[in-house]
Amino acid sequence: METQAFQKIYTKIDQITKATCSLRAKGIGYDELAYIGDRLAQVVKIIGDLVTLQVFGGTEGIPTNAEVTFLGKAPTLKVGDDLAGRFFNAYGDPIDGGPAVQGKEVEIGGPSVNPVQRKKPSNMIFTGIAGIDMNNSLVTGQKIPFFADPDQPYNVVMAMVALRAKADKIILGGMGLTNDDYLFYKNVFDNAGALDRIISFVNTTDDPPVERLLIPDMALTAAEYFAVEKNETVLVLLTDMTLFADALAIVSNRMDQIPSKDSMPGSLYSDLARIYEKAVQLPSGGSITIIAVTTLSGGDITHAIPDNTGYITEGQLYLRRDTDIAKVIVDPFRSLSRLKQNVIGKDTRSDHAQVMNAAIRLYAEAANAKTKLENGFDLTDFDERSLNFAKEYSNDLLAIDVNIGAIEMLDLTWKLFARYFTSQEVGIKKEFVDKYWPKKD
């Protein structure tokens, strides 16, 4: 970064901590960026003429006489159509060897949408994964995370959802991605020939953790450009938000703030909400949908990070290994899409809600039968049939490798109903049974 002629250079740093530097300077704006040597930093506190800077790359090796120049602006991103197909770091600089993006420079982390200007989200996103489309339908403008243990294939599922969703742009915000996962995304998108609709902002595990704090805002600023100015349907993938929250905790700790639950900063809820609430259905037709990953430790959802996330997002998706079929499935019990009511039966078929509920109820019957079996009780004929139904339902519909259309998935479920149950046992409204119950083969 070349310095501009009129810029004042400071060369005396008063205090250095692990994450911050303080120096005496005048006329500095709050949130403003500065370079300390070649490291980017941001103003987080000003008391009189003492300015405290948070150094994204860490303060290791910074001397007290380092050159400090203030940029006179908050972090920005140059937005334009050229963003498409490119890979950037947390500062919005290209990391794919390509040229810098030309475009309008906008501050990241901008204002929120006026709630009365929002539209009710009501367009379904079809993913082909029946475990999502049937039981937890996603809607444009929704925000929903995967709650997953680190060993689960959430990145695979997310990449699949992104590619199948008919989004105009897919924006990946990678926080603390391992280099392997970063290359995975790159390859998947490349192989699918979808690179021209993908924009990536990536902070890998090689990069300093505090840099991650910029990733969601960068990704969402790019998203807002395409959704607001181009009226496009934008899908934003954020992985992994737990590592983002960890970075928040590091910063607040180094700034001597009092931690609240689970060593997280007291502002965690607002910090996460500020990001997730960028998901929006705009009146002009554009939309931002956020699918995120929150990794859990040992499946504990009462930890502050998943807990606060659950209060903010519109549902959550769980993956689970089903040992009966040796596949990973979308857990129908714990997963929930709060906005599915807006589209079920409207963007699909009118029997959708009834079929969904009946199948889950029967799947639950199978779970009860399984417990009975494990406890050494005898199974009834109904129990046996539910167990068989559950196995096929799990394999043909819930497994993450399923890729079928919405009508097909409903018809398939009807077939399974008829194979194992009578229509009374399934308990669906008569008008639908008359219409869709398969005729005896």
Partner 1 sequence: MTKGLVAGIISNLVIVEVDGPVSQNEICYIKIGDTKLMAEIIKIMGSKAYVQVFESTRNLRIGASVEFTGHMLEATLGPGILSKNFDGLQNDLDKMKDVFLKRGEYTNPLEDDKLWHFKPLAKVGELVEAGSWLGEVTENWIPHKIMVPFKFEGKYTIKEISAEGQYTIHDPIAKVVDNNGKAQNITMVQKWPVKVAIRAYKAKPRPFRMMETGIRCIDSLNPIVEGGTGFTPGPFGTGKTVLQHALSKHAEADMIIVAACGERANEVVEIFTEFPELEDPRTGRKLMERTTIIANTSNMPVAAREASVYTAMTIAEYYRSMGLKILMLADSTSRWAQALREMSNRMEELPGQDAYPMDLPAIISNFYSRAGFVYLPNGATGSITFIGAVSPAGGNLKEPVTESTKKVARCFYALSQQRADSKRYPAVDPIDSYSKYLEYDEFIEYINENVSKQWIDQIHYVRNLLIRGKEASEQINILGDDGVPIEYHIRYWKSEVFDYVILQQDAFDKIDSSTPIGRQKFMMEIIIRIIKRDYDFDSFEDVSKYFRSVINILKQMNYSEFKSDEFIKFEAELEEILTKRKVAEPA
Choosing from 67, 107, 384, 396, the residue that interacts with partner 1 (CB under 8 A) is 107
Distance CA 241, CA 309 (A): 9
Q: Residue 16 is encoded by which pair of tokens?
A: 């250095």
Alpha helix ranges (H) inside 299-351? 304-312
Q: Which of residues 382-441 bind partner 1 (CB under 8 A)?
A: none
410 with 429: CB under 8 angstroms?
no
Residue 386 CB, nearest approach to partner 1 (Å):
17
Spatial separation of the C-alpha atoms in residues 368 and 380, rounded to whole Å? 12
Residue 193's SS3 state is coil
Instruction: Pinpoint the alpha helices (H) of 313-404.
Output: 352-374, 381-393
Query: By CB neighbour count within 10 A (0-12 exposed, 13-18 middle, 19+ buried), where does 334 fall?
Result: middle
Cβ nearer to partner 1, comparing 4 with 114: 114
β-bridge pairing 39-47 and 20-24: unpaired
Does 116 sit near partner 1 (CB under 8 A)? yes
Element (H, E) at 160: helix 154-164
Q: How far is the CB of 218 from partner 1 (least distance, A)?
A: 16
Nearer to partner 1, 156 or 228 (CB): 228
Residue number, 296 or 402, with CB nearest to partner 1: 296
- Euclidean distance between CA atoms 174 and 89, whole angstroms: 9
Interacting residues with partner 1 between 166 and 185 (CB under 8 A): none
| Identified binder of partner 1 from the candidate list 3, 11, 187, 257, rule CB under 8 A | 257
Which helix (H) or strand (E) segment holds residue 154: the answer is helix 154-164
Tell me the window of 96-104, 171-179, 239-247, 268-276 that interacts with partner 1 (CB under 8 A): 268-276
x/- binding map, residues 20-39, to partner 1, per CB under 8 A? ------xxxxxxx-------
Give, as ranges, the residues between 301 and 360 that touch partner 1 (CB under 8 A).
302-304, 307-308, 310-312, 314-315, 333, 336, 339, 341
Distances (CA, A) of 280 to 18, 241, 395: 37, 19, 34
Q: Does 119 bind partner 1 (CB under 8 A)?
A: yes
Residue of 162, 113, 75 whose CA lies nearest to 277: 113
CB of 3 to partner 1, least distance (A): 20
- Please, which residues bridge with residue 190 across strands? none
270 near partner 1, judged by CB under 8 A: yes
Tokens read off for 161:
């959802």
Pick from 17, 37, 46, 437 the residue near partner 1 by CB under 8 A: 46
Distances, alpha carbon 393 to alpha carbons 397, 412, 424, 433, in Å: 5, 9, 19, 19
CA 66 from centre of chain: 38
> Applying CB under 8 A, which of residues 4, 102, 114, 424 lies at the interface with partner 1?
114
- Interface with partner 1 includes 297 (CB under 8 A)? no
DSSP lists the bridge partners of residue 107 as 76
Which residues 47-86 are close enough to bind partner 1 by CB under 8 A?
47-49, 73-74
373 in contact with partner 1 (CB under 8 A): no
Q: Which of 117, 231, 368, 422 binds partner 1 (CB under 8 A)?
A: 117
Closest distance between partner 1 and the C-beta of residue 195, in Å?
Answer: 30
Q: How far is the CB of 29 from partner 1 (least distance, A)?
A: 4
- List contacts with partner 1 (CB under 8 A): 26-32, 44-49, 73-74, 107, 110-121, 141-142, 228, 257-261, 265-267, 269-270, 273-274, 277-278, 280, 282-284, 302-304, 307-308, 310-312, 314-315, 333, 336, 339, 341, 377
